[in-house]
Amino acid sequence: MIGIEYRLKTFISPKDGRCLLVDTSAGLSLGVLPGLENYPSAVRAILPQANGVVCSPGQIGRLGPLQKTDAALLVRMDWNNTLRKSDFVLPSAHPQRLPILTTQDALDLGAEAMISTFLLGFEEEVEAACLRSTVELALEGKRLGLPLVIEIQTTGSRVSLPGKAVELGASYALEGGADVIVVPYPGKSSLKTISQFVSVPWLLCPSSLQNARVELEEALGIGATGLWLGHAIFAEHNLPGLLDEFNRLLHPEIAAER
């Protein structure tokens, strides 16, 4: 647990207990992403502004060496095709999720934490595999001192009550041993419910960039640890300004010192 506590502080600021994570790993499933065509250049530009950056296994080695003030690097542990929508060049016929790294692999890559996806709304086999993977990664992570971050995704066609699905996913992640949980915005009622039972740091993934500020303020007001942003931010024209805005919300005292 000492290793886990130490590594959590590399991307959750010990000064205020808050964090901003940026996920750049969706290219695993979607290919080259807008704004990330030159991956090292695009991501290095935001390293001083983020607390952590989520990379694919192939991306993580392209960003070093890092400065002390740069974001920590976290690694994606699984591949899934559920990000591919009907307009994708190769749309997925069946949902699939596959592990691509072991915990030792993640350590060898220099990652400060593991990122794993928990899919909801799909066939029972998919959800069962996600729960099994969560438990296995959590146990191995505790043995090796590497934190596990579980990202809840409720995009399956079987989801009828999105807020309740997010609550269920957060419960599964917590019971499975996650050290940090990322929840998509589930609405005010479900967000409050999640804040009352999740006993580990939790981050909000906003419903959109346009709604991010309002939803983040709401989440921070009831105990959220921080914000999770996807690859879409790299298509924004004023990316540095956008990240500065979020940092002022997340780290007001630190921002005032600059």
Task: Note if the pTM is more than 0.75.
Answer: yes
- The pairing of strands 97-99 and 78-80 is antiparallel
pLDDT digits (tens, 9 = 90+) for 64-103: 788 889 999 999 999 988 776 666 656 566 778 899 999 9
For 199-236, give the DSSP string: -S-EEEE-S-TTTHHHHHHHHHHTT--EEEE-GGGGG-
pLDDT over threshold 90, residue 52: yes
Q: Is the pLDDT of residue 180 over 70?
A: yes
Contact 120, 169 (CB under 8 A): yes
Domain span including residue 233: 2-257
- How many structural domains compose the chain? 1
Percent of the residues in the chain that have a pLDDT greater than 70, as a whole number: 93
User: What is the reported pLDDT for 249?
Assistant: 95
Read off the CATH number of the domain in which 234 is found. 3.20.20.70
- In this predicted structure, the answer to whether residue 125 has a pLDDT above a threshold of 70 is yes
